Amino acid sequence: MAKYDEISERLNDIWSDGYAEEEYGSCQEEGFAAALILTDPDVDGLQGIIREDAQGFIEYEVFSGIGEAQDQWREAKAEWDRIFHPEADG
């Protein structure tokens, strides 16, 4: 994952403006929050996952397509659920 730069700023702006496709976590409970960002490929074409830890540090990963971003999000979310919410496996 990359650190804070122009791309992370764009991803964070989209997330802060309420346009994330999905969100996960909370800095208070899991110690981080993350969001799946999918923008119109014909307009901006920015597909990525952004994560902020409890200290405000930002990391992100961008993908070449929406499907790739969604697949990675599902994998990350499943891993986070196993770590932070094992009771859900039940």
The more confident residue out of 2 and 82 is: 82
Q: Convert the pLDDT of each residue in 33-61 to its tens digit.
A: 999 999 987 777 899 999 998 888 889 99
Domain encompassing residue 34: 6-89
pTM exceeds 0.95, yes or no: no
70 is a domain residue? yes
The tokens describing 20, both together, are 């994330």
1 is a domain residue? no
79 is a domain residue? yes
